[in-house]
Structure 1
Amino acid sequence: MRRRSDLAEELASHLKMAIADRIARGQSPADARASALREFGSVPMIADVTREQWRWLRLDLLVQDLRYALRQLYRSPGFTVTVVLTLALGIGANSAIFTLVHGILLRSLPVNDPSRLYRIGDKDDCCYFNNFQNDNGDFDLFSYDLYLRLKQAAPEFEQLAAVEAGGNSYTVRRGAAPAQPMRTEYVSGNYFSTLGISAYAGRVLNDTDDSPGAAPALVLSYKTWQSDYGADASIIGSTVYVQMHPFVVAGIAPPGFFGDRVIANPPDLWMPLASEPLLEGANSAVKQDDELWLYPIGRVSHGVNIEALQAKLSITLRQWLATRPLYTDHGEAALIPRQHVTLAPAGGGIQKLQQQTGAGLRLLMILSTVVLLIACANTANLLLARSTARRAGVAVRMALGAARRRIIRQVLTESVLLSLIGGAAGLAVAYAGSHMMLALAFPRARNMPIAATPSLSVLGFAFLVSLLTGVVFGMAPAWMSSHARPADALRGANRSSGDSASLPQRALVVLQVALSVVLLAGAFLMTRSLRNLEHQDFGIATTNRFVLQFDPKGTGYTLDRLPALYRQIEERFSALPAMSHVSLVRYIPLGGNMWGSCVIPQGHPAPGPNDHCMSVWDRASNQFLDSIGVPIVRGRNFSPQDTATSQQVAVVNQAFAKQFFPHEDPIGKHFGVNKPQYSGAFEIVGVFADFKMTDPRRDIGPLFFRPLSQQFTGYQESESDAGEKSSMFVSFIILDFAQVPPDAEALSRKTLAAIDPNLTVLRFSPYDAEIAGNFNQDRLLARLTSLFGILALVLASVGLYGVMSYYVVRRTGEIGIRMALGAARSAVVLMVLRNALGQILIGLALGVPAALLAGHLMASLLYKVSGYDLLAFSGAILLLTICATVAGFIPARRAASIDPMQALRTE
């Protein structure tokens, strides 16, 4: 416990400080002493205060410090606004990024005890597969039969559920209301109990719902219930129609529950796995033992050794694979010993969006931290300049007896208060920034589980950053202020012999320049990468083209009704004004979905385990290639002569011909898929020019199209036959206008409704927008790094301008003497610019190596641009040098305009 004499000494020091403060504000010494004594009480009585009274006195002193700080900030509005805006941008940028990092990377599922949830598998593989998945033997997708085998073999799981890897978009209708597309997910009956989730209303799914012959049931998400059904409680127990099949709404999921993964479009409803054959028919994945399409996720018992369980499950996997001909034929049994599973923590959900966005978010977090450092350096520079300007006032206070500790605390109070105000303003920036980033990254998001509103964690983060900023970057000005010499007050404010603030200020400018190089180089790299992505040659034409998505299967169409429907669509839409081509296709190029099969040319043996036989393929109508502007380079396109009874035909791209028929003419050659007995199924009648069908970042691979007019009936396995039938149902109409009518969307919707009022337009958009959707996250990264780079450039230029302005003011007398002795104005400008350029060059020398390291770390995010791109680094250095030179030239020009006589009079 502190002695009373120490307390009395400290309070007496505070009294002297209060008197000095009042004198500095213009009161006479006598009035200042009298008002201070009225506020503090009599000094001789201080030794008699109790500890409780002392606590209140200390609180009162803190309030006085706050009042003093607010008064000082109010007297300098320009300084206050500049610092608050600078910190708001720095802290706001960090808080906005942290909002996304917390919502995507750090968030736990809103379920019971998420720490005990584990997923069998650790990669985002999607969505249907039927072969070895990865070269390293890592299994991440599982068939229904394999899921049941794992569930039986692992009692270490209290419960093990299964969820669909990809999800579907099905047409849902209630009563006479129009049908609407909804995001659905198949789950096992124990899904909700595994996660520890109970219903908000009604009940959740259970094992009874997931048994054969059970009445189809579903659970709606809370957001869907509110947004699409107006929170109508009567929907529980009522019937809705999914793909024309009746389902009973069993219940409503609780608020905040979005499923088992963080994605832009979480499920609107969940259905049991047992209902999948009802909706998919012969194409049911549940009934196909080799169809890999499920993620198993379970809750482990307390005390389970995860590594031992992982090894046990890997053995079970290999035992199952050894019983399946698909994995043992054609020499592939040799691959089974390397197959294994990885148990991954699933408390944060199945890592889909995390894996897709993690690298970008981490990069943005680093860049926003650099912005914050630049903002803090700028703030520290302003505080140093302010402490120098207030040196005389502090000297007066110390001459009157103010304690150095009180001076430091008062300056720190002002610095922390500024930072907290900047942090509060930064939350507004964070709120707007996170909204903007979500809109840019996920423009089609529906019921997205990531909230743009800062959470308690984000608020705590912003407060901590603000507090640390105020303390760390206010310490140097506080220390310098406390070392003001009372003799300076007698000499005058402008007669100080020392210049202790100059070196720290220059060092901070050097730091700002170095960090700005990193951000500007990153901005140039990301912008060039985005430009390469968006302006590459995709091989297709998109001008005046539109994409209309619909779902004939969900409206009840059967295979025998499809040909008549497709003819009507082509005839009705072709009759629209200025229509050039109309085509139908299952999956559109660069739309995000595609089929893949192993191609076996006729006369070739079955491919071995190390042979690359995969090709993507699609169904399309005769005018498809014309509608996207892709020419036939050899042979012919589909024609009306390609009928259901004629030879099965296909058109292939140049990459297909090069890989499977090298050094020979592919026209007239035959091939099949998956099994050697089907190798003569399809005859190649044409080769079309290469274009990008799937990932715009990857090289063009083999691709073939088959006509909608032909269905192959020679498959002997139910799996292949079911897939063949499913491929006949298209999803998109591509409209190619010679000249786009102003009401293209309304006209298209009206035309489809005239064909069948039950056909719903699920989406209508320009083809350019479809392609642009591939680059949402790249665009976000490029725009944010550019924004950060511009912000860093402005802050660094302002910082250099401030330091050089201070340099000119401090050396006004010297400059006046030089000019009085005959120095030319150009020599004065050169002297000041030399000083500024020295700081710039040192900053560049430190910043360029750091920027090269940053480019190396960013390499995986770049497309066809090196992390050491000379143009990007040259542009960053040139732009920073120009702006910094201008920022230094303005004070230099002002220095050259100084009147020598006036400058000498100030001395």
Structure 2
Amino acid sequence: MLFDIRYALRLLLKSPGFTFVTVLIMSCGLALTLYMFSVINTIMFAPLPYPDGENMVLVNPTVNSVSLSDSGLNFMDYSEIKTRTTQLEDVGYFYAERADISDGSKAVSYMAIRNTPQMFSYAGVQPFQGRVLNQEDIQTGAQPVAVISYAMWQNYFARDAQVIGRDIRINGVPTRIVGIMPENFAFPFFHDLWLPSQLEPSRYLVRKGAPEVSVYARLKPGVTFEDANRDLNRVMQAVALEHPESNKGLSAQVLTFQENFMGEETRPIFIVMLFAVSFVLLLACCNVGNLLLARTTERSKEIAIRVALGSPAGRLVLQMMLESLFICCLSGILAVLLAAWGLEVTNQILPGFVPNKTPFWWQLSLDNVLVFNALALVIITALLTSALPAWKIMHGNFNDVLRDGTRGAQSRGAGRVSRILVIFEVGLSCSILCISALFAVLVYQATRADYGVDTHNYLTAQIHLNPNDYPDDSRRILFYRRLNDSVAAITGVDSAALTTSAVGQFTLPRQVDVDSSSNNTNERWSYPIVNDVQVMPGSLSAMGITPTAGREFSHADTQDSQQVVVVSQSFAEQFWPAERDVIGKRLRFRDTDDQRWYTVVGVVPSVIHGRPFSAFRHRATVYRSLEQQPSSSLMLVLRAQQPDTVGPALINGVRQVDSNLSVNQIQTLDERLARNTAGLHFIANLFMLFGLVAMILAATGIYAVMCNLINQRTQEIGLRMAMGATESNLLRMLMIQGGKQLLTGLVIGLPLAFFVAPKLTRILGDANTPFVLLFWMVALMITLVVALAVWLPSRQATNMSPADAIRYE
């Protein structure tokens, strides 16, 4: 064994060029595979890092089998599921709310989670200091308490050792800190503050008016996702029979926390990425296997002599496997280092890919699982790459080699295997390059999506009104007017808008009914859904959304006057397609307590609210006046020639109106919109990396294989030239033979790309992306690369004199 190891190492050291190329090829394939496996597994598939994390799920509503992963369940439906389910346990709820925190010296705003005490035992995590919430904390009249995160203790409280028992003001209410959670605990997603739930079940006896909550649960032992969904469907169908007016068509499903955060539509993208990186690894294995096969063919005479001297075939196969194992082990070490470096870099750039904060489980690292996967991949690739040389040794006709006295002559079977590998490489690289190019086009379209208005030169910021400081609508409306006047007077600001949702920002969906509708049912989920946005008078024009018909809101539109709305052009076309003038038409919102009719007073161009590639990008929008429908969560949108410089003045302008208010997420509108497609950019860049590596692997592999094949046919080429074949005839013959392999490879690779492309365009585009022409352009590029890889060694061989070619060894 030691002799075989030394022999294999000596062979590799004698051919440093061959060793360098094979190690480089395999390192690229392994590094990409390890990196992508870690990224995709961590973001989408790995269990949460808590006890029994693989069974922790969220329960989301579905309407007519369409998932509403961004919505919560009605509190009454949560109570029914908790009581009737047989497949879930530890069922609880939480809901988020904005929390303005002040300790008397500084004010900040956090997204807090209100929950029942059972949520901490559900996660199975003990506090770092103090205690978690208990049952007494949620009782009526209990002292307000809070549990904070380790990060909040570090950043806001500067690691104050006396913070437990300290009182701070949360939304103006004196609240006592009772606990600090351990480092990296941010359950359920990225949160830093936990407060007791304020929902009293006795107050909610009917569904109308009951709040929405996010429901968590745990699958019982042995229960699958399919079992849980069937059980939830059974429960919700029974509830729908009892309450058809609110629940007909409404059901529920379980999703992992990862699917809920990323969106179900991203799962196919990650699966495609896994297939793509697997193709890259297969491509690397094909290359190295083909090179080792060619190396074995070159050593045919040596192997034949050793066989003739009595060397067992198993010993020869073992030596070849050791050579392959050394190549793969060295590649594995380099791949682990490259993957670890890539994961470290990715951790630094990941926060730029999400609108708020990254979830707590997005911690990419070189863990034991990754090292074990690397070891497994090394063994698998070593077996794959040594399979062809081993087959050559076991099935080679070495008697003919000794009798003919030639070196490197390739048998018909070995030549066929090499051609098949070339075909396979062409097919794999074609499919990867096609999908990479399609991703690049879709990202280009998304980043340059027309949101409906000009988005340049705007600064945005979020504020949240404390309900204790602004308990009624009159105080809120007075604040709106003062704030609008204050920020509009800032030097350099051309216009100011106050809204609940800027362009490209997600909005709460509402169900509407129009006065000409024939839908008279009381079923809640039978009405279409639209975006519901509130704006101050004059804010639509300030954001560039100028009415094309009618007018926008004025200060005369008060709560005591006629209720009015402005609708988007897409709304008018959807609900009144035959009407040229929709001013004066009426609509109402069916999923709210307010069942008043609103009169349309204006029509504005359609704009996108949300991501430009989301399923709701074409959803119509209804605008209401903030002076008729006040809101506590607001977005300031300022137009300025240099928006980057207005931030400090904006903060001062808000504090002049209310010194206790915090201003959050100050950024230009272009920066905010860029975050909508940042994750897509990341995925597209990875695919482009896949495509580049695939193209390099395919080009070098095909060139190396063709060069080796043609070198082995040099004597044949010399003989043909001696018998009168011209250089052009020989070039044409070799190019045609290479062209057949190219064509077969394209026939394999293009259908794979055409199968995946429609699904991607439906998820990320408008299903009208002309990918057919794009794929043919990719095929043309591959054709040129393969033609060059065949022509270069062919040209070199045909330039030899017949005498030199016949004597070539």
TM tier relative to shorter chain: 0.7 to 0.9
Q: Could you say if the C-alpha distance between residues 594 and 298 of structure 1 is closer, same or farther in structure 2, counting changes exceeding 3 Å?
A: closer
Alignment of 1:448 with 2:360, yes or no, is: yes
Q: Is the 8 A contact 1:541 1:630 kept in 2?
A: no
- TM-score, normalised relative to structure 2: 0.87
Q: Could you say if the C-alpha distance between residues 286 and 573 of structure 1 is closer, same or farther in structure 2, counting changes exceeding 3 Å?
A: farther
Q: Could you say if the C-alpha distance between residues 764 and 184 of structure 1 is closer, same or farther in structure 2, counting changes exceeding 3 Å?
A: same
- For 1:204-283, list aligned pairs within 5 A: 204-226=132-154, 228-255=156-183, 257-260=185-188, 263=189, 266-274=190-198
| 1:687 CA drift (Å) | 1.4
Look up the SS of the partner of 1:274 in the other structure: coil
Matched letter for residue 714 of structure 2: T
Look up the SS of the partner of 2:162 in the other structure: helix
Aligned with 1:101 (options 28, 40, 45)? 40
Aligned with 1:540 (options 453, 467, 473)? 453
Aligned with 1:475 (options 384, 387, 393)? 387
Aligned with 1:111 (options 50, 53, 77)? 50
Q: Could you say if the C-alpha distance between residues 629 and 852 of structure 1 is closer, same or farther in structure 2, counting changes exceeding 3 Å?
A: same
Q: Could you say if the C-alpha distance between residues 633 and 860 of structure 1 is closer, same or farther in structure 2, counting changes exceeding 3 Å?
A: closer
CA-atom RMSD, angstroms?
Answer: 4.0
| 1:511 CA drift (Å) | 0.4
| 1:591 CA drift (Å) | 0.9
| 1:617 CA drift (Å) | 1.9
Q: Could you say if the C-alpha distance between residues 353 and 416 of structure 1 is closer, same or farther in structure 2, counting changes exceeding 3 Å?
A: same
Moved more, 876-885 or 569-578: 569-578
- For 1:343-492, list aligned pairs within 5 A: 344=254, 351-353=260-262, 355-395=264-304, 397-398=306-307, 401-434=310-343, 435-436=345-346, 438=350, 441-442=353-354, 444-446=356-358, 448-481=360-393, 483=396, 485=398
Aligned to 1:692: 608
Aligned with 2:131 (options 203, 214, 237)? 203
Alignment of 1:551 with 2:467, yes or no, is: no
Alignment of 1:74 with 2:13, yes or no, is: yes
Matched letter for residue 73 of structure 2: F
Matched letter for residue 271 of structure 2: R
Look up the SS of the partner of 2:766 in the other structure: coil
Q: Distance in 2 between matches of 1:515 and 1:733?
A: 50
Aligned to 1:45: none
| 1:701 CA drift (Å) | 3.6
Q: Distance in 1 between matches of 2:382 and 2:234?
A: 57
Alignment of 1:668 with 2:584, yes or no, is: yes
Q: Could you say if the C-alpha distance between residues 157 and 390 of structure 1 is closer, same or farther in structure 2, counting changes exceeding 3 Å?
A: closer
Q: Could you say if the C-alpha distance between residues 193 and 445 of structure 1 is closer, same or farther in structure 2, counting changes exceeding 3 Å?
A: closer
Aligned to 1:895: 797
Aligned to 2:568: 653
Matched letter for residue 355 of structure 1: E
Aligned to 2:537: 622
Q: Could you say if the C-alpha distance between residues 413 and 532 of structure 1 is closer, same or farther in structure 2, counting changes exceeding 3 Å?
A: same
Q: Distance in 1 between matches of 2:79 and 2:309?
A: 85
| 1:763 CA drift (Å) | 0.9
Q: Distance in 2 between matches of 1:382 and 1:305?
A: 46
Q: Could you say if the C-alpha distance between residues 252 and 81 of structure 1 is closer, same or farther in structure 2, counting changes exceeding 3 Å?
A: farther
Aligned residues: 797
| 1:211 CA drift (Å) | 1.5
Aligned to 1:90: 29
Q: Distance in 1 between matches of 2:680 and 2:577?
A: 36
| 1:581 CA drift (Å) | 1.8
Q: Distance in 2 between matches of 1:190 and 1:728?
A: 31
Matched letter for residue 687 of structure 1: V
| 1:635 CA drift (Å) | 1.2
Larger Rg: 1
Aligned with 1:297 (options 213, 216, 224)? 216
Q: Could you say if the C-alpha distance between residues 781 and 248 of structure 1 is closer, same or farther in structure 2, counting changes exceeding 3 Å?
A: same
- TM-score, normalised relative to structure 1: 0.78
- For 1:494-573, list aligned pairs within 5 A: 494=407, 496=409, 498=411, 501-553=414-466, 556-557=469-470, 559-573=473-487
Q: Is the 8 A contact 2:117 2:132 kept in 1?
A: no
Q: Could you say if the C-alpha distance between residues 141 and 423 of structure 1 is closer, same or farther in structure 2, counting changes exceeding 3 Å?
A: same
Look up the SS of the partner of 1:731 in the other structure: strand
Q: Could you say if the C-alpha distance between residues 503 and 481 of structure 1 is closer, same or farther in structure 2, counting changes exceeding 3 Å?
A: same
Alignment of 1:579 with 2:510, yes or no, is: no
Q: Distance in 2 between matches of 1:819 and 1:213?
A: 102
| 1:557 CA drift (Å) | 4.9
| 1:237 CA drift (Å) | 2.5
Aligned to 2:631: 728
Deviations 1:116-157 (A, max 9, x none): 6666x4x3x5xxxxxxx6125999843334544554567997
Aligned with 1:160 (options 72, 76, 91)? 91
Structure 2 unmatched runs, 5+: none
Q: Could you say if the C-alpha distance between residues 900 and 173 of structure 1 is closer, same or farther in structure 2, counting changes exceeding 3 Å?
A: farther
Q: Distance in 2 between matches of 1:305 and 1:763?
A: 40
| 1:362 CA drift (Å) | 1.0
Q: Distance in 2 between matches of 1:633 and 1:797?
A: 56
Q: Could you say if the C-alpha distance between residues 819 and 361 of structure 1 is closer, same or farther in structure 2, counting changes exceeding 3 Å?
A: same
Q: Could you say if the C-alpha distance between residues 821 and 232 of structure 1 is closer, same or farther in structure 2, counting changes exceeding 3 Å?
A: farther
Q: Distance in 1 between matches of 2:410 and 2:748?
A: 32
Moved more, 441-450 or 532-541: 441-450
Look up the SS of the partner of 1:213 in the other structure: coil
Q: Is the 8 A contact 1:163 1:294 kept in 2?
A: yes
Q: Could you say if the C-alpha distance between residues 630 and 296 of structure 1 is closer, same or farther in structure 2, counting changes exceeding 3 Å?
A: closer
| 1:906 CA drift (Å) | 3.5
Matched letter for residue 736 of structure 1: R
- For 1:40-51, list aligned pairs within 5 A: none
Aligned with 2:74 (options 123, 134, 143)? 143
Deviations 1:168-202 (A, max 9, x none): 443334452x3333332221122223443332322
Look up the SS of the partner of 1:171 in the other structure: strand
Q: Distance in 1 between matches of 2:224 and 2:282?
A: 44
Q: Distance in 1 between matches of 2:412 and 2:585?
A: 86
| 1:409 CA drift (Å) | 0.9
Alignment of 1:185 with 2:99, yes or no, is: no
| 1:624 CA drift (Å) | 2.3
Deviations 1:333-390 (A, max 9, x none): 7x65x66555x486x7784436353221111111111111111111111212222333
Matched letter for residue 586 of structure 1: T
Q: Distance in 1 between matches of 2:517 and 2:398?
A: 97
Matched letter for residue 448 of structure 2: H
Moved more, 698-707 or 605-614: 605-614
Look up the SS of the partner of 1:872 in the other structure: helix
Matched letter for residue 506 of structure 1: R
Aligned with 2:625 (options 707, 715, 732)? 707
Matched letter for residue 272 of structure 1: P
Q: Distance in 2 between matches of 1:831 and 1:309?
A: 63
Look up the SS of the partner of 2:23 in the other structure: helix
Aligned to 1:814: 716
Look up the SS of the partner of 2:390 in the other structure: helix
Q: Could you say if the C-alpha distance between residues 870 and 287 of structure 1 is closer, same or farther in structure 2, counting changes exceeding 3 Å?
A: same
Moved more, 626-635 or 813-822: 813-822
| 1:257 CA drift (Å) | 4.1
Matched letter for residue 512 of structure 2: C
Look up the SS of the partner of 2:137 in the other structure: coil
Q: Could you say if the C-alpha distance between residues 240 and 387 of structure 1 is closer, same or farther in structure 2, counting changes exceeding 3 Å?
A: farther
Q: Distance in 2 between matches of 1:503 and 1:473?
A: 17
Q: Distance in 1 between matches of 2:483 and 2:648?
A: 16
| 1:585 CA drift (Å) | 0.7
Q: How many percent of aligned residue pairs carry the same amino acid?
A: 26
Q: Is the 8 A contact 2:465 2:632 kept in 1?
A: yes
Q: Distance in 2 between matches of 1:315 and 1:381?
A: 56
